[in-house]
Amino acid sequence: MNKEIISIESIDKSFGEGDKLLQVFKNFSLSLHQGETIALVGASGSGKSTLLHIVCGLDRPDSGSVKIQGIDITELNYDERSRLRNTEIGFVYQFHHLLPDLTALENIALPALLAGTNQAEAFQNSSLLLEQVNLFGKENNTPNELSGGERQRVAIARAMSNNPSCLIMDEPTGNLDTKNVENFMTLLMDMVSMRNVSLLIATHDTKVSSRLDRLLSLE
């Protein structure tokens, strides 16, 4: 079996208190291995986004452990979690969150530059990523000069900038039409296969979940 990238063991997570206590997870566990792809499905409010935030270290479980590459992020401080997240996790949102004043190439290079990669190496790798997402010739375009599908492709490339071990995506196709969803998924699965990364996607879209190895339903 491939190396375990993410291990969630017996986590509990609640919001509120007293009569208004809402328990989202109780004794929940999940394992994600290198190259494996998992779709998180469930109704709004079932905890999909909360789980992604816990995996990324943006939120903490009330109990249990969350390990990335064997490191329990619940035991790390804020700066340590941020450094680990920036190197091991690539995140893609429903809304691309590209910086509007930066070009496509600059947006892709930004995580690597923030991680301390030298400028020449960061931009060389970003140019390669731009080609891999089929946007050669668009490197100097700003986000408002790109289509919705193209912006999401830049977001994929940016998420891969630091060669993460896992991609985390929260409804990444929510704003795309059917054709662009199909194009997005074909490109994404090619990238996942090429770089042998793990993939965890929260989605309502069966055209997305049907392409992945496993489907995990949150009730």
pLDDT in tens, 130-160: 998 889 899 999 999 998 888 888 988 999 9
How many domains are contained in the chain? 1
Burial class (CB within 10 angstroms; exposed 0-12, middle 13-18, buried 19+) of 191 = buried
Give residue 167's domain range: 4-217
- In this prediction, residue 20 carries a pLDDT of 79
**Residue 186 is part of a domain; what is its CATH number?**
3.40.50.300
- In this prediction, residue 133 carries a pLDDT of 87
Neighbours of 30 (CB within 10 A): 17
Q: How confident is the model at residue 28 (pLDDT cuts 50, 70, 90)?
A: very high
pTM of the model: 0.87
Taking only the tens place, the pLDDT of each residue in 189-207 is 988 898 899 999 998 888 8
Taking only the tens place, the pLDDT of each residue in 78-110 is 888 888 888 889 888 766 688 999 999 999 999
Residue 168 has pLDDT above 80, yes or no: yes
Angle between helices 119-132 and 148-159 (to 10 degrees): 130
CA distances (Å), 191 to each of 38, 173, 216, in order?
15, 16, 22
